[in-house]
Amino acid sequence: MIDLYCGKPIGTKSDTWAMGVMLYKLCYFSLPFGESAMAIQNGAFSFPNEPSHPDSIKAIINLEKRPTIYQCSVLAFTAAERACPVRNARGCRKPSLSATIRCFQSGVVSMFDKELEDQVDHVSPPEPQVGSELS
């Protein structure tokens, strides 16, 4: 898929972004960007004071470097004190919830290391097969 506005490919990180938007909506009963298209494009949002949620929930959302679904899952399941059932398919570094919370509290956004930036951000669709028929 292509972001028609920016002309850039849309990859799997957009799914993680959408999950963050859903988490925000579940926690605060509103969308993080309101109705502002500019806020959506810039990723500009803030956390309301009410209802209050622990930093462990807020720390899952990282604006600058979106974690992989595995890394999000590790943080979410660790916060829930449960074993993470998601497989580490890309061999990503396992994040520490306490380190993520410390980074969030200190205002440091860049918690996930360079390996996250180096990963392929999109998945190519399968090549169509000539002569194949849909049944």
CA distance 13 to 112: 14
pLDDT of residue 63: 53
Q: Say if residue 65's pLDDT is above 90.
A: no
Q: Say if residue 82's pLDDT is above 90.
A: yes
Produce one character per residue of 26-37: b if its CB has 16 or more CB atoms within 10 Å, e if not. ebeeeebbeeee
* Domain range annotation of the chain: 2-33+53-118
Inter-residue contact 109 to 62 (CB < 8 Å)? yes
Q: Say if residue 135's pLDDT is above 70.
A: no
The reported pTM is 0.49
The three-class DSSP label of residue 8 is strand
Query: What is the rounded average pLDDT of the residues 104-118?
Result: 53
Calculate the alpha carbon distances from 37 to 50, 98, 125 in Å: 24, 34, 28
What confidence tens digit (pLDDT) does each residue in 13-58 have? 777 778 888 888 888 888 888 777 777 777 777 788 887 877 767 7
What is the residue-averaged pLDDT of the chain?
Answer: 72
pLDDT of residue 83: 93
Q: Say if residue 64's pLDDT is above 60.
A: no
pLDDT of residue 125: 43
